[in-house]
Amino acid sequence: MQLLRKILFPVSLVYALVVYLRNFLYDQGIFSSKRFETPIICVGNLSAGGTGKTPMVELLVALLKDRYKVAVLSRGYRRKSKGFVLADAQATVETLGDEPYQIFSKYTDLALAVDADRRNGITILEEKIRPDVILLDDAYQHRKVKCGFSILLTSFDSLYVDDWYLPTGNLRDSKKEAGRAQVIVVTKCPQDLSLAAQQELQNKLRPKARQRLVFSYLAYGNRLIGNEGSIGFEDLRGQNVTLVTGIANPKPLLVYLEKMGVKFEHLKFKDHHSFSGTELEMLRQKQCILTTEKDFVRLKDKVDQLYFIPVRHKFLADGEAVLKQSLEEFM
């Protein structure tokens, strides 16, 4: 795969040129960005996947929902429905997509919608829901909408400043576009990341004076959640455990499970993987399956003995306070 990526370097140069021209046309006003009356907060990244966008959206919902009427709008990647869909009691993974359905499963009273046309989605939400704020999930590159506040995520072990354009690297946007963010979050940091190391990252990322830079790590739960309740890690002793992941970067989860002393086989699938009938039948033969929450919502009605490990962002130092203050200043 790495050799193929190197061979495709000329293609990445063409991709980089297209990205540059597109951003230039938006910057010059030749392509238009629409501003809406409702405050809009965008969560996204410059690279393809693996930075923790969905847990960040969930965190923002938790921070804002008690004071504001919050709506979430996502593209609904790989869903089977078309156009605008507003989540309701009949919503499924197929109608919403795995990540939006995961969010809605936790916040069933939340106004959550999916629409590939973000302008259309925002317009309908303003007409039907009249929210105080709209969270745009994975929309940093969606410049047809003028967001008032943008949160840019970059993974500790794969910083955008060290990356290159697709398909040779994972960048899907120009590094200089980081300058549009109000807050930059370095995600998936080691929990014991020192102040000196944080300063090194700040020197490397070089945020603008107006930008806030914070650091977060993934905090995994100590209980495993399944269809019929929860179990502890001690309940896994003596069982043949299979870890199933269909996410961009499962490495932090692997490290956590090893730290917890869990012995497992790992079946790794591509991000947003659609499990075939043959794969599902194979999984049904497993004694105990651990998976991510995103994969759980796609597998829970098809596989027994299935559990997911809850995960959320936690911030180093005063990161959460900095984020809250930035949001309050915007709202």
Radius of gyration of the chain (CA): 20
- 224 vs 237: CA distance, rounded Å: 14
Instruction: Say if residue 302 carries a ligand binding annotation.
Output: no
- 37 vs 35: CA distance, rounded Å: 7
Token pair in block for residue 65: 């929902």
Q: 279, exposed or middle or buried, with CB in 10 Å at 0-12, 13-18, 19+?
A: middle
- 318 vs 32: CA distance, rounded Å: 37
- Name the residue among 145, 127, 126 with its Cα closest to residue 136: 145
Q: 224, exposed or middle or buried, with CB in 10 Å at 0-12, 13-18, 19+?
A: buried
- Name the residue among 299, 214, 226, 218 with its Cα closest to residue 259: 218
Q: Evaluate whether 225 touches 295 at the Cβ level (below 8 Å).
A: no
- 225 vs 120: CA distance, rounded Å: 36
- 330 vs 259: CA distance, rounded Å: 39
- Give the three-class secondary structure for 75: coil
Residue 132's contacts (CB-CB under 8 Å, 6 or more residues apart) are 38, 39, 68, 69, 70, 331
Instruction: Say if residue 50 carries a ligand binding annotation.
Output: yes
Instruction: Say if residue 54 carries a ligand binding annotation.
Output: yes
Q: Evaluate whether 307 touches 290 at the Cβ level (below 8 Å).
A: yes
- Give the three-class secondary structure for 11: helix
Question: Which amino acid would we find at residue 49?
Answer: G
Instruction: Say if residue 53 carries a ligand binding annotation.
Output: yes
Instruction: Say if residue 44 carries a ligand binding annotation.
Output: no
Instruction: Say if residue 47 carries a ligand binding annotation.
Output: yes
* Binding-site residue set for ATP: 47-54
* Binding-site residue set: 47-54
